[in-house]
Amino acid sequence: MGHSLRLGPALCWLALSAPALADTSPTTQDLYLDPAWLTLMHYQQDTLGGGFTSQADDPDFFLSDQGKQAPERELEATLSAIQQPGSGGGHAQCRFPARTAWLQGQLDLSLPAVDCPAYEAWTETLNTETVTLVFAASYLNSPSSMFGHTFLRLDPPQDDDETNLLLANTISYAADAAAHDSEILFAYKGIFGGYPGITSVQPYYEKIRLYSDIEHRDLWEYRLNLTQAEVDLLIAHAWEIRDHNFDYYFFDENCAYRLLALIDVARPGTNLLDEVSTHAIPSDTVRWVVDKDLVSEVYYRPSAATSVAYSLESLPEEQQTLAAAIANGYVDPESQEIQQLAPKQQAHILDATYDYVRYQSEADGWPREVAAPLSHNLLMARSDIDEAPAPQSPPQPEIRDDQGHNTFRGSISSGQLAHREFTELTLRPAYHDVLDPPAGYRPGAQLQFLRLDARYYTDNDELQLEQLIGVEIRSLSPRDQFFSPLSWQVGFGGRRTDNGAKRVLSPYLEGGAGGSWLLGNHLQAFAIATADVEIDDDLRRGYDAAPGADIGLLHQNNRFSFIAGAKTKAWIVSSQHRQDQVYIKGNWHLGRAFSLFAEFTREDHYDRYQSTWQTGLHAYF
């Protein structure tokens, strides 16, 4: 009887498909080219030729042996499989519920009833009514998080205001990296596809613990305006891909890219993946989602570090000093210095100091024997103050991360180097430097990838590659009496350098560490001890190394940014000479799309003084 049941649909299928050899139904024949089917299967058109290749790298994602390159064969195999009777997790309807739902809607299929207990239990556990896209701000201290990170929060029905979204589940995509891999190895494998990507489901409170409490990263929550049917389709497709590998690439097929694919599946026609060209930076992908009118509301969740810093900064300067003295054990929380203040001021100091001590004990590992009794004393002193308001939360920034400038920058400029005039073209795929419009980016942070500067010298019609930056990272985080972050920088690539006889293009590696201090509103001073290595055949030993220093001032605001300072290096391996430079660079921001810029440097190298100046235009797109 079972064999007959299985044979019946097959015979019917053959009876319907045999005449199609001569006269195929246009609807069925063209269905495999439907953009929704191509999106469900993660097909991308081949660069050369008219074929397709799926980005899924797991054979189990396909029902046809030819499925990775043949959308038509995969559709036929799926149609056949979902019409077979049976039950259990191995049935095609259970493995691929989104495909099943889409094909059933397109072809009005009458499918056999199939029990899928694992999938049904999963959807009941997630209990999703709405979906929220969450963006975790950039974090320079981790290669995997330099551009920020995105994931989806699956929100249950909001029955009342007490519904705790911290208990909601999240869907995220990340590289499946080995725990012992170093940051350098992670960056290398992430760039060149050395890791499989995995889709995981975790409670939201675990994400907050990781991003907000440990990594000091603010979270932005973008509630999507998906209908319930679209939410169900997104959940169904998340089930389909959750156990299947997709190769992870740091620049394009990353966390943000996979989430765009999920949204494209949920609402066919959004075509978010079409926005991706050379790279998919999380803040850019959030911007695309907003521009497609997929967001109904936005909520800001400050990190623990942001909240503590805001509470301390809102104290008057003398009370900040008092709070620091309490935190470091020099003043007792119930001392006369506290008691003489107004109750509201006492409460503010005690609350801010308690939050700071708790933060330091969790984030920076203050010893428990120090933090615990101090926290207890602060709470006891605070409990004696009645009718004092609780600490205020930090205000939402005026400019969100997705509202900052676009990350691809092209520049055109003209200038002069030692009386040689030139025109320069610069292309930078990502991401931001300290002179770009700062709104929406971390103050004092710089992260550039694959920047290329090409110069055309007009005196002899010579075209030269001036520099190629592989990676350049700089973090100028100001220090104060509460926080003492390290300012640091690292970079590598190739650049033009003077070897005493001519300017040659030399590979280089540079780094440095030091400190930065606020001098006023938007103005900070920095001092960095540096170390440089250059490699070139024209050098006596093939390479040279130089310790040095970089001291300067940085000012950033939404209209104008500048940096000025002095650098010195002492080359000590292939040659013994100093290289000294003074510099000033400024950008005038014309909205978020353009900046006018000007630069001037004066350098003493091999006992020769020469000046370089240039002016031009940056365009962000």
pLDDT at residue number 11: 30
| Interval 407-434: pLDDT, tens | 999 999 999 998 899 999 999 998 899 9
Q: Is the pLDDT of residue 5 over 60?
A: no
pLDDT at residue number 392: 85
Supply the DSSP symbol for 406: -
Q: Is the pLDDT of residue 115 over 80?
A: yes
pLDDT at residue number 391: 79
Most confident range, picked from 90-99, 257-266, 383-392, 528-537: 90-99
357 token code pair: 């001590």
pLDDT at residue number 308: 93
Lowest mean pLDDT among 282-296, 322-336, 435-449, 530-544: 530-544
What mean pLDDT value characterizes the chain?
A: 86
Given a contact cutoff of 8 angstroms between Cβ atoms, the answer to whether 282 and 308 are in contact is: no
CA distance 193 to 213: 30
| Interval 583-594: pLDDT, tens | 999 999 999 999
Paired with 556 in beta bridges are: 561
pLDDT at residue number 549: 97
pLDDT at residue number 497: 86
Contacts of 146 (CB under 8 A, 6+ apart): 138, 139, 140, 431, 447, 473
Which of the pair, 616 or 51, is modelled with greater confidence? 616
**DSSP H helical ranges for 439-590:** none
CA distance 305 to 546: 36
pLDDT at residue number 145: 67
Q: Is the pLDDT of residue 536 over 50?
A: yes
| Interval 249-268: pLDDT, tens | 665 566 677 889 899 999 99
Lowest mean pLDDT among 272-276, 329-333, 613-617: 272-276
pLDDT at residue number 242: 85
> What confidence tier does 142 reach under pLDDT thresholds 50, 70, 90?
low
Lowest mean pLDDT among 27-41, 107-121, 295-309: 27-41
> Averaged over 473-483, what is the pLDDT?
92
| Interval 373-400: pLDDT, tens | 999 999 999 998 887 787 788 999 999 9
Closest CA to 136 of 259, 286, 278, 264: 286
> What confidence tier does 248 reach under pLDDT thresholds 50, 70, 90?
low
Lowest mean pLDDT among 13-17, 101-105, 272-276: 13-17
pLDDT at residue number 2: 38
pLDDT at residue number 16: 34
Q: How many residues does the chain have?
A: 621
pLDDT at residue number 177: 56
| Interval 162-209: pLDDT, tens | 568 888 999 987 665 555 555 555 555 555 555 566 678 889 988 888
pLDDT at residue number 351: 94
Q: What is the pTM of this model?
A: 0.86
Query: Containing H/E element for 411?
Result: strand 409-417
The DSSP code sequence of 503-572 is EEEEEEEEEEEEEEEEEETTEEEEEEEEEEEEE-TTSTTSEEEEEEEEEEEEEE-SSEEEEEEEEEEEE-
Handedness of CA 413, 418, 421, 424 (dihedral sign): negative
pLDDT at residue number 188: 56
